[in-house]
A and B are shown apart, each in its own frame.
Chain A
């Protein structure tokens, strides 16, 4: 007897060929459009409105920035064209926007500093790069010293001293944000540890500092640094005009960084602390070797978002007379020799593109980091 005879003959053993799905669920552009753009009359109306809006906005943007823009020529070409951006203006002011009034013969020092910084940051942020501890060490200890020597200059090394009043443009913006991150991260870690400390006095000091700084606008902190710091110290110790906002930005962002780090510390399971204590590891070794490495890894995305905020906040230093990138744009756009109908808009468009590029890049990095962390925890 074969197997076959066990089944009643009515059963068809051969597999039926798969039928195509019904027309309205068949994957394809038409179904997709129907489902995602025209599912209901209301949705269809929205689709039409928003398509018109998006097309209009895109058209406005493209015609201003590219199609009707002036790409070559001089002032006359720009003042004759009231409809498009004036890119020769940006081209002529480009060096000013990058370096401010930094002496032309010494600008290679700025380039070198920025190149070293870029290499170190890429090394630090690229998770698969080897020896990232060394990178961190270089970035947080060696780089600030090197940048100081290169940018300001040391007469002994035959690098003429450049007065900080001459610094400006993107150089200041990048300097402010790098100083902010380099000093605010360690300070923030100390403040966060202090806030979670068992010692009431330490805790009170840290909580007061964090909450007061987070409760006031950055502008007032800058005002304080600018107007009050010279009153606080004897005349011979008065900080340089560029150093004052740098101190302000470091202290200000350290309060925000402290809250980010605290979130990381709270996310570490209690067992980690208890296990470390049970092994007889001292407080500082426990924090340095066990808790902080884990806590800081968790909060890398938040650190990057704080850094984006810091980067955007550097625009405010113009209020105390520092010519950062945005201030350079402001100065350039009111230059009477370039008076034209679209100079302001071109300046703001360029500034917007630069800031957006930096911030969007960073936020994308932070998002990819976040996904990576989620994957890491699952495995």
Chain B
């Protein structure tokens, strides 16, 4: 009779039919083949680099670079080292990315909201902008801005003059330099004090509202503080700020600050392109807020502006922020297209000029990749923390 009972004991033998054994087998196989591949590539690379006389160390880091960079935010000259050139590249990449992120966000929010406008023509213009810009490669747009818009501007001698001492020509936008005199520190100090007062007042207003429901005029008080404090100090210290106007000497301008066309083209291109993506994200986020929320706010007697500001946007933000982060990262990565129009970013300086001069391809590429990975990891971590803080708590 015992023959009829089914054996339910799992087999404990080490056969290939056991999922566990097979899993370990696959993983060992994968690890083995990957390490063999890495080892093979490593040995081959070292021998190839030796054969071609390419340096194997990071010794080039402290050697003199010997090339000049026309746009730097940190001190750099031809005698500086490759290491310093690297930092110039990193700072330039971060600078243009941050500015472009700011502009793209502004543009994206405006266009995204405009796409949902009741006004037919506003919605159509916004939609056309998104549909045109998203479907044209960023590189083409950058080349267009640089070669077809900014380069054909007149030479410095025939600059387009904008009131206020600003000149526009094919070398860029030249604007007055701000010069600080003693006493300017006091103005800066008073501005800082004004900011602190605003924050304190905001906290106080929030507490008052929580306790009593009374709303204090935060916006107008803050604006007043931010304008009046520094202005009073500015007048009291005897106007400690002056401007140096750019002057045309020979073929070029002297004095003043210069915004190079490469930088401007990259900034405009990145902002316009990413702005169209952000607009779509914003539109999606606002549409994802249930209609009942708007109707409830309306039923409670909130004005359309307040409904948008207090009910819809805070909820939409929770939906918008994760894809927005990935757009910011895309923008930062896309700033590497600077290499095509000659803006000295990390890729152009380091993975371009430095790589060609030193020939240390492996080291240079490893460092470049590490920088971009570090930027993306830091941004993701920051945004995850932000997201946790702002996620909608379902009750």
Give the shortest distance, in Å, between B305 (CB) and chain A (any CB). 11
CB neighbours of B209 from chain A (8 A): none
B244 at the interface (CB under 8 A from A): no
Give the shortest distance, in Å, between A340 (CB) and chain B (any CB). 12
Contact: A315 with B336, CB < 8 Å? no
**B119 interface neighbour in A46, A198, A217, A228, Cβ under 8 Å:** A46
Contact: B377 with A217, CB < 8 Å? no
CB neighbours of A39 from chain B (8 A): 118-119
A54 at the interface (CB under 8 A from B): yes
Contact: B140 with A348, CB < 8 Å? yes
Which of B102-149 touch A at CB < 8 Å?
A: 117-122, 124-125, 131-132, 134-140, 143-144, 147-148
B184 at the interface (CB under 8 A from A): no
Q: Tell whether A217 pairs with B136 under 8 Å between CB atoms, given A47-B122, A231-B48, A234-B44.
A: no
CB neighbours of B143 from chain A (8 A): 326, 330, 348
Q: What is the number of contacts between chain A and chain B, taking CB atoms within 8 Å?
A: 146
Smallest CB gap from B41: residue in A: A232
Contact: B138 with A312, CB < 8 Å? yes
CB neighbours of A212 from chain B (8 A): 369, 373
CB neighbours of A216 from chain B (8 A): 333, 369, 372-373
**A318 interface neighbour in B120, B122, B340, B347, Cβ under 8 Å:** B340
Give the shortest distance, in Å, between A50 (CB) and chain B (any CB). 5
A110 at the interface (CB under 8 A from B): no
Give the shortest distance, in Å, between B384 (CB) and chain A (any CB). 14
| Residue with the highest number of chain A CB atoms closer than 10 Å, among B120, B121, B124, B362 | B121
CB neighbours of B132 from chain A (8 A): 356
CB neighbours of A308 from chain B (8 A): 135
CB neighbours of A217 from chain B (8 A): 333-334, 336, 347, 372
**B120 interface neighbour in A37, A344, A356, Cβ under 8 Å:** A37
A319 at the interface (CB under 8 A from B): yes
Interface-lining segment among B27-35, B78-86, B156-164, B248-256: B27-35
- Per-position 1/0 for A205-245, Cβ under 8 A of B: 10000001011111110011001101111110000000000
Give the shortest distance, in Å, between B211 (CB) and chain A (any CB). 36
Contact: B144 with A315, CB < 8 Å? no
Contact: B135 with A220, CB < 8 Å? no
CB neighbours of B351 from chain A (8 A): 219-220, 223
**A355 interface neighbour in B136, B337, B369, Cβ under 8 Å:** B136
A363 at the interface (CB under 8 A from B): yes
Which of A336-379 touch B at CB < 8 Å?
A: 344-345, 348, 351-352, 355-356, 359-360, 363
B173 at the interface (CB under 8 A from A): no
- Per-position 1/0 for A29-58, Cβ under 8 A of B: 000000011010001001100110110000
CB neighbours of A326 from chain B (8 A): 137, 139-140, 143
Contact: B347 with A219, CB < 8 Å? yes
Give the shortest distance, in Å, between B310 (CB) and chain A (any CB). 20
B355 at the interface (CB under 8 A from A): yes
Smallest CB gap from B142: residue in A: A315
B225 at the interface (CB under 8 A from A): no
* Bound complex: CA A227 to CA B358 (Å): 13
CB neighbours of A348 from chain B (8 A): 140, 143-144, 147-148
Contact: A231 with B135, CB < 8 Å? no
Q: Tell whether A227 pairs with B30 under 8 Å between CB atoms, given A51-B121, A232-B41, A326-B137.
A: no
Give the shortest distance, in Å, between B385 (CB) and chain A (any CB). 18
Give the shortest distance, in Å, between B64 (CB) and chain A (any CB). 23
Which of A315-330 touch B at CB < 8 Å?
A: 315-316, 318-319, 326, 330
- Measured CB to CB, the residues of B under 8 A from A are 23, 26-27, 30-31, 34, 41, 44-45, 48-49, 54, 117-122, 124-125, 131-132, 134-140, 143-144, 147-148, 152, 329, 333-334, 336-337, 339-340, 347, 351, 355, 361-362, 365, 368-369, 372-373, 376-377
Beyond the given A201-B31, A220-B365, please list 12 additional residue pairs across the A-B interface where CB-CB is below 8 A: A50-B121, A212-B369, A214-B376, A218-B333, A227-B355, A312-B138, A313-B137, A326-B140, A330-B143, A352-B140, A355-B136, A360-B135
Identify the 4 closest CB pairs spanning chains A and B, nearest first: A359-B135, A201-B27, A312-B137, A217-B333
Show 18 A/B contacts (Cβ-Cβ < 8 Å), sorted by A. A205-B30, A212-B373, A214-B376, A216-B373, A217-B347, A217-B372, A218-B333, A219-B351, A220-B372, A231-B45, A232-B45, A233-B41, A312-B138, A348-B148, A352-B136, A355-B140, A359-B136, A360-B131
